[in-house]
Structure 1
Amino acid sequence: MSEFSHIDANGNAVMVDVAAKVDTVRKAIARGKVILNEKTFRMLQQQALPKGDALAAAKLAGIMGAKETHRLIPLCHPIALSYVDVRFAVNEADFTIGIEAEARCTGKTGVEMEALIAVQIAAATIYDMCKAVQKDVIISDCRLVYKEGGKSGVFKAE
């Protein structure tokens, strides 16, 4: 057997068989941010961007992204999500939009990828909504900050 979970003894990619695992309640939270210039930030706040309300669109896009994670990441299991939310922290001091996504399910495998994809799709949607007025939007610092459930227990980023 290979020492890698997604590669068999012959070097072929395989999906991990989770059938024998016990269902547990699982939760993951990921965060990232989008950095704008002052003009774009003010337009976003006032819902005055040419494409409309960036945060409303990004929230829906992030939720949709989480639900499609298994279609985007090779060998990722489809998960029956019980909850997904995308939240924003609008920071006037540095013209950033903090993004936090939370995903939950009861199942045999975790929801970390779903939370991470939700943040990244929300960030890309904000970029798309802002690109008409700013080309150098920065997406940064996407990472898992919390997870619980399964045999590895709780993870909390420092």
Structure 2
Amino acid sequence: MSPVSIRPPGAATLMHVAIFCPDVDESIRFYREALGFSRTYEWTKTYTGTGKTVYSGRGVYIELEGQTYLELFPGGVPGQDSSAGPVHHIGLAVSSVDESYERCLAAGAQPFGFDDWSGEPTTVTINGDPEMLVRVAFVRGPAGELVELYEQYSPVIATER
């Protein structure tokens, strides 16, 4: 019997973002304490149907909700500029940017800013069509990863044109 996908056909959804971590257990602790992730699945080997090993080593999925995960692997350099790699940041929708930001800092994250903005919670308008009003903040996680905390105030802002 052939495997059957658990996802229906159609648009893609975010399943996971992979992070190489100097300390996987520290990253698990941070994401559980600060942002409510849960540890759900751990493995030490990935192989094909013919038995060929394609990955040998520790891997951990921690779930945010609804089958959205961070995939953590050993490796990486603490504080390394994650924008230098192919993944710029992890965007996480939260119910309160301010509360989540404080929890992140209390759990060991560092603030991260751009240009003349410190990265602390701030409200911004995204000037798409239509515009959106959101509150955002950025922090560095324990593996040096850049995390955006994102709170959407309204689906759209009514604009007069």
Q: TM-score, normalised by structure 1?
A: 0.31
TM-score by length of 2: 0.30
Report which structure shows greater RCO (CA 8 Å, sep ≥6): 1
Where is the strand percentage greater, Structure 1 or Structure 2?
A: 2
